[in-house]
Amino acid sequence: MFELLQTDPSSKARLGRLTTAHGVVETPVFMPVGTQGSVKALDPRELVEMGTRIILGNSYHLNLRPGLDIIRAAGGLHRFINWSGPILTDSGGFQVFSLATIRKVHAHGVEFRSHLDGSPLFLGPQEAMAIQKTLGSDIAMVFDDCPGHTSTPRELRAAVERTLRWAGECRAQPLAPGQLLFGIVQGGTSAPLRQECAQALAALQFDGYAIGGVSVGEPEPEMMRAVEMTESFLPPGRPRYAMGLGTPAQLVELVARGVDMFDCVLPTRVARNGTAFTRKGSLSIKAGACKADFGPIEEDCECFACRRFTRAYLRHLLNVGEILGLRMLSLHNTWFFLKVMAEVRTAIAAGTFADYRREFAASYVPTRKVLLARAAAAER
């Protein structure tokens, strides 16, 4: 199922191969997010052409719309969305627990109200696994309790206990043919709780392990520490997945800390706000500095947007509300994330990851500095 091919001598970076029912995934890997059955603004052909090997779907949203009856009638999620590659589905736990003001936690799940129409719903381990079985995803996630960044020690302890109890219940549920099941480690910023949760989940022998409870409002140093205090207690022969992370620079650093899989909405979300990712940091294409800039989003980028269109044209599209502008920035950003992961894999294989990591960190700077540098160059 997972083969560890090579480790980096300068860090905990790993090169691996994950075999699923719908294909092989080389790790480290970035998974574009298709929350409601579609990676926003991109079609499956484009995703395949840019090197996407696995995408993520959201079982909470797909269960509400279009509903399991429709997906079942279509022959499963793969056929419904016309995606032949692997799919990872989350359990819906994060979405449920984000509805803190309209939910009530019980021993075997959470009672809450739909964010669409307020209708009462219940989601627990059995329900979450039944949904993912019907969807037929390649990788299913257990139903867990994701505490917020400001949770008290008592709340963190309760969340870990529920996470472990529910993980055991999820482990006992039937899966779709060939479906893999990943456990999720919680514990907030508590090293003892992280260790306890990771070791208990390892004893249940899941197919992979996710590091949950990160990117929930905590500062970046705390996020990195949470990953570090979890990774060392996870089985080395199973894939590690950091949920909901992160920026390109964060991904490189998390690979160095032993993480194999990532997902994040940033590539398409910031594209809808007119922002592009580059090797020098994020860049606002809407900014005045791009008004008469007839170069590509990024020099030497081979994505379709950079080969065909200029910053000036894309800025125009964004300012007049043309959909093409959002699509091209989404395409470029997704391409960029996938390209970084491909370069990381190449560097680990070649034994040059330490150099790649250092050079990437040195060149990736905040947006403001990029814009100021370009404005200064234009004035000269």
Gap between the Cα atoms of 306 and 96, Å rounded? 39
According to the model, what pLDDT value does residue 374 have?
Answer: 45
Question: Looking at per-residue confidence, does 228 or 375 come out higher?
Answer: 228
Catalytic, 260? Answer no
pLDDT tens digits, 146-180: 998 899 999 999 999 999 999 999 999 999 999 99
Catalytic annotation, pick one of 138, 145, 263, 293 = 263
According to the model, what pLDDT value does residue 115 have?
Answer: 82
Lowest-pLDDT range, 103-112, 127-136, 341-350?
A: 103-112
Q: What is the mean pLDDT of the chain?
A: 94
- Under DSSP, the state recorded for 208 is E
On the question of pLDDT at 38 being above 60, the answer is yes
According to the model, what pLDDT value does residue 373 have?
Answer: 45
**Position 124, amino acid:** G
pLDDT tens digits, 313-350: 999 999 999 999 999 999 999 999 999 999 999 999 99
**Burial (CB count <10 Å: 0-12, 13-18, 19+), residue 16:** buried
According to the model, what pLDDT value does residue 82 have?
Answer: 98
Gap between the Cα atoms of 102 and 63, Å rounded? 19
**Position 12, amino acid:** K
Half-sphere exposure at residue 256, Cβ-oriented, CA atoms within 13 angstroms? 19
Structural domains of the chain, ranges and CATH numbers in brackets: 2-264 (3.20.20.105), 271-379 (no CATH)
On the question of pLDDT at 13 being above 50, the answer is yes
According to the model, what pLDDT value does residue 215 have?
Answer: 83
On the question of pLDDT at 372 being above 90, the answer is no
DSSP H helices, the chain, are 44-49, 59-64, 68-74, 77-81, 93-98, 125-135, 153-171, 191-203, 220-231, 248-256, 266-271, 304-308, 311-319, 323-350, 353-363, 367-379
Catalytic annotation, pick one of 8, 90, 138, 260 = 90
Catalytic, 263? Answer yes
pLDDT tens digits, 246-291: 999 999 999 999 999 999 999 999 999 999 999 999 999 999 999 9
